[in-house]
Amino acid sequence: MHELAVTENILAIALDQARAAKAIRVVRISLALGEFSGLTDESISLYFDALSENSIAANATLKFRYLPARLACHNCGKLYLASDPSWRCPVCHSQSAELVSGHECYVESIEVE
Ligand SMILES: [Zn+2]
């Protein structure tokens, strides 16, 4: 359900941009997906194909870029990538950290013609 809403939003943005540019077709949409967004490129692509049918965005290529999750250590304030599943701070080894990015999903760019 979450993915459907996100994809509807992506399509609405693409169609708005295309209208503003007086385009006849949306060729490509580049998306940024946070590692912890809970969204996958397969499901967004599936929903997109269904939703964009009969619109000028039908058959547009979706390009995905994954954004790594970043953490801020509660103890020393260090910012680091959540590459280690234990989320251990590389500086002070504290395991108390806050996710500062990685939940995003947004349209980076749209190509129209
Ligand atoms: Zn730390």
pTM for the whole structure: 0.82
Note the pLDDT tens digit of each residue in 9-45. Answer: 999 999 999 999 999 999 999 999 998 898 999 999 9
Ligand 1 ion: Cβ-proximal residues, 5 Å cutoff: 73, 75-76, 78, 89, 91-92, 94
φ, ψ of residue 36 to 5 degrees: the values are: -105, 20
- What pLDDT is stored for residue 1 in this prediction? 56
What domains does the chain contain, in order, with CATH numbers? 2-112 (3.30.2320.80)
Compute the distance from residue 39 Cα to the ligand 1 centre, in Å: 29
What one-character DSSP code corresponds to residue 37? S
Structural tokens at position 69: 């999750």
Cα of 102 vs centre of ligand 1, distance in Å, is: 19
